[in-house]
């Protein structure tokens, strides 16, 4: 009979769990059962995702309508036996594919990274023998020994534990180590509260214990996350969706126009071969060959800019997606907060004090009512800080300017608070030499240390839960070191006040004993009536990053909502959310923060979840699958969702989100591989910079598309007019290719370097379903295309009437496109603001590009080789003056049109 491992193991007692798994606490599994279960369950490893072969990933770079257009152009030029031009176009296709392939060459390694989460070895009990085996050989029912510093090798129900604490932050988002116990829990207990379980990949930070393995490999909580990662779909970004739709439309329009041109030519009695060449010329002229390459290069430039602002982009399209983001779902621990417990409030005697600073870095000020505090005449405050410093088994360590804790995060916070007040650990340990310790135990809820203090007295310090410490106190210490009656009501009121701010509160007490009492045995014998003196309280929290508060405010001004999705407690999450301003999200009806827990979320219907995801700003005690559910819910409301996180538990949601943002320093490898972007400084404020860059990238792409389409449309119209009037083609296919490729590279690409326009973060996010071009831009493209048609066709006909050769007339038409597009490029530096209000030096690339285009066109016109290749001919000075005059006229007309729209928008706004 197969063993059933899919049970609510936290709901069963340890004895029931062992019985269900047919194991034995004192003997472990027999060799026969080990062999049988290894065959049944396989190795304790997570099944890796089958990678997409490199050849397939390369071919997928060609799966795009824009690339189809270029391939079509290649075939057309091959048909025309223009082999050089065909090679150039196909070269553009290959370069575009290589850039995309290299940028995305890191395959989906998230699940393979999860394998590293499992420890390499485990100590187990088999056949009554305690042995060490590779963790991969663990099976359900194994009895595993755990000690401080061990990485948990599999999911297990704890059957013995002594003062055990496990850091589960990477899995649950809980910032404080979970204190373990053996008591059975209700069946619907959320993952973060299952304190009788140990989960694969988490770290034992304190104590020791035993557990019976309940799940291995894919059946662990980590394995379930791996499955969710593989299930999450890679979404198209807003840009790729819009470019895809735009390209398909363009493809059909071009083919349709080419077909109409062919039919019109036949109706006019032209030979079929001539008509076909004209139709092909129109198609080649109208295809924007440079568009895919420029889109890719513009995104790559955005990648470089973001890297300089501490954001590493793993997928090119993620650059633009940031600019489209409407909602940022942020994990709390380590993302919005420091992930370092920090003491912020003290109660010493009857007085309350504040400590500034953040994290474990021992820099900050001790104040009362914003005034510095003297410790020399304040006995209660002195003993409160010293007891937190030396009744402590942890240490702070500095590495390259970053302070971390070795041991318990809570104890690290106590050390930092004392150091901020000027105390040095080694001096205090020398002055108050520890001679005995009662370690913290979960059933006792306190830690006691005995210190030698001169020849007459020794001193006992206690720290622990408020309830347990106060139960042992009969008096409290005042500022002068005198004992006063214990005012428990006042202390309880302070505890409630601190807890209401989301803080964790520890109580401290002391007792002087004779120097002859050199152990804590007499203290234990007096339990529980020790008659201690209450010293005070230290209240701590994992504080918000200062820069995160500003970043959230900036995002909100930009119309981007920020939501907190965390595994931490609701009270703590709500307190932090209030401090960073999540009650001021765009569209929020009230300043009151609403928080929903994972348990409450699980009771909602699908539609209610969607409504809650849109309405609520704080989600606490959330399981990994619920993070994924919330991202899906927001996307169902057409939101473009960015998800930030650093833990294993964030990985599925990071992958499902339109853009996943992982933390580079504190983030797990799993989260980094699932993400589209990694922040090298773990700083939420870098997201603000990235959103800004993303908006600029999209702006510059729209500028480029608005600029390039008149060239293609103008050429197409010129060729159509020639067919309709039955005259010689003013632009040959090979000349159209020259025009499209050189202007796109030398002129259009320079728009990718345009700096951000003023007020870019003051406008609302683009509507996800909005077309890539507004009616205003479509009107401008049509008007400039018409002006190009009039100028090129008019100059061609004028020169023909004046006896110019066909080569000279065609060269004149092609060069007019270059000149007008150079002037129009200046118009496109801003689609709304006047060119006369745009700094002339803000983008030197523009002038370099115009110079390069001019040199290239001079070579096209005046060198014999180019005259032969492209059937061009030299032009006179008079021709150039005509073209420049026409270019200036187009520039002024476009500026007049922009002024009209500015005035109209201003009138609507008022």
Q: Which residues are catalytic?
A: 331
Contact 204, 147 (CB under 8 A): yes
Kind and range of the H or E element at 467? helix 466-470
The residues facing 438 across adjacent strands are 448
Report the C-alpha gap between 18 and 213 in whole angstroms: 9
Report the C-alpha gap between 253 and 859 in whole angstroms: 33
Give the residue ranges of DSSP H helices in 538-684. 546-557, 570-580, 598-602, 606-615, 624-636, 651-656, 669-674
- Supply angle C-alpha 339, 323, 830, rounded to 5: 140
Q: Which two tokens stand for residue 439?
A: 């370690």
Question: In 10 A of CB 26, how many CB atoms?
Answer: 7
Distances 847 to 232, 710, 743, 851, 890 between C-alpha atoms, Å = 46, 21, 13, 6, 19
Report the C-alpha gap between 278 and 270 in whole angstroms: 10
The residues facing 143 across adjacent strands are 125, 212
Closest CA to 706 of 761, 754, 658: 754
Closest CA to 856 of 809, 821, 881: 821
Report the C-alpha gap between 258 and 66 in whole angstroms: 17
Report the C-alpha gap between 479 and 351 in whole angstroms: 9
The residues facing 595 across adjacent strands are 618
Contact 179, 195 (CB under 8 A): yes
Q: Rounded to an integer, what is the distance from CA 23 to the centroid of its chain?
A: 44
Report the C-alpha gap between 350 and 358 in whole angstroms: 25
Distances 632 to 515, 636, 662 between C-alpha atoms, Å = 66, 6, 19
Quote the radius of gyration of the chain (alpha carbons, Å).
36
Kind and range of the H or E element at 494? helix 488-500
Report the C-alpha gap between 776 and 343 in whole angstroms: 56
The residues facing 437 across adjacent strands are 449
Report the C-alpha gap between 162 and 442 in whole angstroms: 8
Residue entry with tokens 């799940």:
215
Kind and range of the H or E element at 534? strand 532-541
DSSP string, 103-163: HT-S---HHHHHHTTS-SEEEEEETTEEEEEEGGG--TT-EEEEETTPBP-SEEEEEEEEE
Q: Helix, strand, or coil here: 844?
A: helix
The distance between the two most distant Cα atoms of the chain, rounded to a whole number of Å, is 122
Distances 665 to 362, 515, 662, 668, 680 between C-alpha atoms, Å = 20, 49, 9, 9, 6
């Amino acid at each position: 009979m197969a063993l059933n491992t899919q049970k609510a193991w936290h709901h069963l007692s340890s004895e029931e769990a062992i019985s269900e798994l047919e194991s034995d606490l004192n003997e472990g599994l027999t060799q026969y059962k080990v062999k049988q279960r290894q065959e049944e369950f396989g190795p304790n490893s997570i099944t890796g995702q089958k990678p997409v072969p490199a050849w397939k990933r390369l071919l997928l770079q060609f799966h795009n309508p824009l690339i189809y257009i270029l391939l079509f152009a290649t075939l057309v030029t091959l048909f025309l036996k223009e082999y050089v031009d065909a090679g150039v176009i196909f070269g553009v296709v290959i370069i575009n594919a290589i850039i995309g392939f290299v940028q995305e060459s890191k395959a989906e390694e998230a699940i393979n990274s999860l394998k590293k989460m499992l420890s390499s070895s485990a100590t187990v009990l088999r056949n009554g023998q305690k042995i060490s085996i590779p963790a991969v050989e663990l099976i359900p029912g194994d009895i595993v020994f755990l000690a401080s510093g061990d990485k948990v090798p599999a999911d297990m129900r704890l059957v013995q534990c002594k003062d055990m604490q496990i850091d589960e932050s990477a899995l649950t988002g809980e910032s404080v180590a979970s204190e373990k116990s053996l008591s059975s829990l209700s069946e619907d207990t959320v993952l973060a509260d299952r304190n009788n379980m140990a989960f694969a990949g988490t770290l034992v930070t304190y104590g020791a214990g035993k557990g019976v393995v309940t799940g291995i490999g894919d059946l662990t909580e980590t394995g379930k996350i791996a499955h969710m990662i593989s299930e999450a779909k890679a979404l198209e970004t807003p840009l790729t969706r819009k470019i895809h739709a735009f390209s398909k439309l363009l493809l059909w329009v071009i083919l349709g126009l080419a077909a109409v041109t062919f039919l019109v030519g036949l109706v006019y009695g032209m030979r079929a071969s001539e008509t076909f060449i004209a139709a092909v010329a129109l198609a080649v002229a109208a295809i924007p060959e440079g568009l895919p390459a420029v889109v890719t290069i513009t995104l790559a430039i955005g990648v470089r800019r973001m890297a300089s602002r501490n954001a590493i982009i793993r997928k090119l399209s993620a650059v633009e997606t940031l600019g489209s983001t409407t909602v940022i779902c942020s994990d709390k621990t380590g993302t919005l907060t420091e992930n370092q417990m920090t003491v912020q409030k003290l109660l010493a005697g009857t007085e309350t004090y504040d400590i500034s600073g953040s994290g474990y870095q021992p820099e900050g000020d001790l104040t009362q009512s914003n005034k510095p505090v003297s410790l020399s005449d304040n006995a209660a405050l002195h003993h409160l800080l010293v007891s937190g410093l030396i009744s402590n088994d942890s240490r702070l360590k500095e590495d390259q300017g970053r302070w971390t804790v070795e041991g318990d995060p809570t104890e690290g916070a106590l050390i930092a608070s004392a150091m901020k007040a000027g105390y040095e650990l080694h001096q205090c340990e020398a002055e108050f030499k520890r001679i005995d310790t009662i370690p913290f135990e979960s059933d006792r809820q306190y830690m006691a240390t005995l210190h030698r203090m001169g020849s007459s007295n020794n001193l006992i310090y206690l720290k622990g839960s408020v309830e347990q410490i106060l139960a042992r106190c009969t008096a409290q210490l005042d500022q002068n070191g005198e004992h006063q009656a214990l005012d428990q009501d006042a202390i309880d009121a302070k505890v409630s006040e601190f807890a209401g701010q989301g803080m964790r509160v520890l109580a401290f007490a002391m007792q002087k004993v004779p120097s002859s009492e050199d152990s804590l045995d007499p203290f234990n014998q007096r339990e529980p009536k020790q008659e201690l003196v209450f010293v005070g309280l230290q209240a701590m929290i994992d504080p918000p990053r200062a820069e995160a508060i500003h970043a959230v405010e900036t995002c909100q001004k930009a119309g981007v909502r920020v939501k907190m999705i965390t595994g931490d407690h609701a009270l703590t999450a709500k307190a932090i959310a209030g401090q960073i301003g999540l009650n001021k999200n765009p569209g929020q009806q009230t300043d009151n923060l609403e928080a929903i827990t994972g348990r409450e979320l699980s009771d909602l219907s699908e539609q209610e979840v969607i409504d809650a995801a849109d309405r609520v700003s704080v989600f606490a005690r959330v399981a990994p699958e619920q993070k994924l559910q919330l991202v899906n819910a927001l996307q169902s409301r057409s939101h473009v969702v960015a998800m930030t996180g650093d833990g294993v538990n964030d990985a599925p949601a990071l992958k499902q989100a339109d853009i996943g943002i992982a933390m580079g320093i504190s983030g797990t490898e799993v989260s980094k591989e699932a993400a589209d972007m990694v922040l090298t400084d773990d700083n939420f404020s870098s997201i603000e910079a990235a959103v800004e860059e993303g908006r600029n990238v999209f702006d510059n792409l729209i500028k480029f598309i608005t600029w390039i389409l008149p060239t293609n449309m103008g050429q197409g119209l010129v060729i159509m007019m020639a067919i309709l009037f039955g005259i010689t083609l003013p632009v040959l296919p090979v000349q159209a290719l020259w025009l499209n490729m050189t202007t796109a590279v030398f002129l259009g690409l320079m728009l990718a370097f345009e700096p951000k326009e003023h007020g870019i973060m003051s406008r609302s996010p683009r509507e996800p379903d909005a077309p890539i071009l507004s009616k205003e831009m479509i009107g401008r493209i049509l008007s400039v295309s018409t002006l190009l048609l009039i100028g090129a066709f008019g100059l061609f006909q004028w020169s023909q009437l004046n006896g110019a050769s066909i080569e000279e007339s065609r060269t004149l038409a092609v060069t007019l496109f270059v000149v007008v597009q150079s002037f129009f490029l200046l118009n496109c530096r801003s689609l709304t603001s006047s060119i006369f209000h745009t700094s002339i030096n803000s983008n030197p690339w523009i002038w370099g590009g115009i110079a390069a285009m001019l040199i290239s066109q001079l070579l096209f016109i005046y060198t014999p080789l180019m005259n032969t290749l492209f059937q061009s001919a030299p032009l006179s000075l008079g021709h150039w003056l005509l073209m420049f005059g026409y270019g200036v006229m187009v520039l002024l007309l476009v500026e007049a049109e922009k002024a009209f729209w500015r005035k109209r928008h201003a009138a609507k706004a008022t």
